[in-house]
Amino acid sequence: MKMMNRIIGAMICLGAVGQPAFAKLNVVATTPDLGSIAAVVGGDLVSVTTLAKPTEDPHFVDAKPSFIAKLNRADALVEGGADLEIGWLPALLDQARNNKLQAGAPGRIACSQGVQLLEIPAALDRSKGDIHAAGNPHFLTDPENARIVAQHIAEGFSALEPKSSAVFQSNLKQFLGQLDAKIAEWEKLLGPYRGQQVVAYHDSWPYFAKRFGLKIDLFLEPKPGIPPTPVHLAEVILRMRAEHIRPILVEPYQNRKTAQTVAAETGAVVVDVSQFPGGVKDTEGGYLELVDHNIRSVAHAFGENKGTTAEK
C-alpha cells in the first residue's frame, strides 16, 4: 500500500511538472446543451467534455468507466440541476471522489440556480409519473433562460479563475449579443402562430411554449414517462382532429413510430426536435444552431399545406 502511494505520488509530481504554466480549466458538463454554452463562455481557457450523448435521455444516462475518470480529473462540473441528473450523477460523483465537485464547492455549477422553474408540484406524488420535485428541469428550451445560464457559468468560471474573469465576461457578452439577435429573429418566425396548439411526445417543452405563446398541453404519453397506451392515443387523435392540431414534437430518444402512427391518423406532421445540440441533424454547431433548428422546424410544420403527412 505504501509502495502504491509512493508510485501515485510520483505520478502526480510528474504530471504537475509536465503541464504548461497556464493549464486550461478542466470542465465536465452533464448534457450537450450545457456543454455547448460552457464552451462558448470559457473559450480557449477551458476544455469541456460532455457526459450524456445528445441522443440520450438526460434523465437516464448509462454510466461508463470514463465518466468516473472525467469527473475525477475535473476542476468544474456544469450540471442542469433541478433533479435532471438525479438518476445517474450522484452515484458517479460518489465513485469519482473529487472534492472540487462537492455540493456547494465553487467547482459545482448548477445551472438551474436563478432560473424561474415551471411546474413545481404542490405535493410530490409518484402516481403522476416521473414528476420533478424541484420543477421541470428542461428550462433551456426557452432561449431566454440560456442568458441566465450563460451568466451563471461565467460567474462560476470567474470564481475559479479570477485572473481570467475579463475574458469570460467578454465571451459572455459576445454570446449574449448573438442570442439577442437570434431571439428577435425567432420571435418573428413563430409570431404568426401565437396561441396555436402543438402536441409533444413528452412534457419537455413548457418553457418553450411559454416563451413563444404556444399551447403544448397534449402529450402522447398518458403521464410523463409512462409509455403511450392505445386508449390514451385514441383520445389524443380525437382531440387533434377536433382542434386541427398539426405539429407533433418528437425527440431522438422517444418512439418516433408512435408519433408517425398518430400523424397518419390525423394528417399531422412529425417534427424532429431536440433539447441537445447534435440530437438531430445539422445542430452539431451548438446551442444557437439547435434552437434555430427547433424553431424553424415548428414554424415549417405550421406553415405546411394540410394533407401532407410526415416526411421521412
Partner 1 sequence: MSEALSIMFWPLIACLLLPGILVYYGLHIVRREIIFVDLALAQVAALGMCLSILLKHEPHDWQTYAWSLGFTFIGAAIFTLTRNENHRVPQEALIGIVYVVAAATAILLLSQSAEGDEELKRTLVGDILLVRPAEVFQAFGLYAVIGVIHYLFRKRFLLISFEPERATAEGVSIRWWDFLFYVLFGFVVTSFVHIGGVLMIFSYLIVPAICANLLAQSLRARLVIGWLTATIASIVGLYVSYKKDLPTGASIVCALGAALLIVGLLWRFIPRAKRS
Interface residues with partner 1 (CB under 8 A)?
4, 7-8, 11, 59-60, 62-66, 68-69, 72, 87, 91-92, 94-95, 126, 129-131, 223-227
Residue 139 DSSP one-character state: G
Residue 135 or 286 having the CB closest to partner 1:
135
CA atoms of 164 and 186, how far apart (whole Å): 33
In whole angstroms, what separates CA 194 from the centre of its chain? 24
CA atoms of 72 and 52, how far apart (whole Å): 16
Burial status of residue 9 (CB atoms within 10 A of its CB: 0-12, 13-18, 19 or more): exposed
Residue 4: CB minimum distance to partner 1, A: 7
Residue 91: CB minimum distance to partner 1, A: 4
Task: Decide: 225 and 130 in contact? Cβ < 8 Å.
Answer: yes
Fill in the amino acid letter for 128: K
Task: Decide: 33 and 277 in contact? Cβ < 8 Å.
Answer: yes
Residue 23: CB minimum distance to partner 1, A: 18
The set of cell numbers assigned to 265 is 391518423
Task: Decide: 242 and 220 in contact? Cβ < 8 Å.
Answer: no
Residue 205: CB minimum distance to partner 1, A: 17
Fill in the amino acid letter for 12: I
Residue 66: CB minimum distance to partner 1, A: 4
Residue 221 or 292 having the CB closest to partner 1:
221
Task: Decide: 88 and 67 in contact? Cβ < 8 Å.
Answer: no
Residue 107 or 228 having the CB closest to partner 1:
228
The set of cell numbers assigned to 9 is 505520488
Residue 20 or 65 having the CB closest to partner 1:
65
Residue 64 or 241 having the CB closest to partner 1:
64
Residue 64: CB minimum distance to partner 1, A: 5
Residues in the chain: 312
Residue 130 or 144 having the CB closest to partner 1:
130
Residue 49: CB minimum distance to partner 1, A: 12
Residue 43 or 87 having the CB closest to partner 1:
87
Q: What is the largest CA-CA distance in the chain?
A: 75
Residue 182 or 202 having the CB closest to partner 1:
202
CA atoms of 192 and 143, how far apart (whole Å): 19
**Lookup result for grid cell 426557452:** 142
CA atoms of 222 and 11, how far apart (whole Å): 54
Residue 11: CB minimum distance to partner 1, A: 7
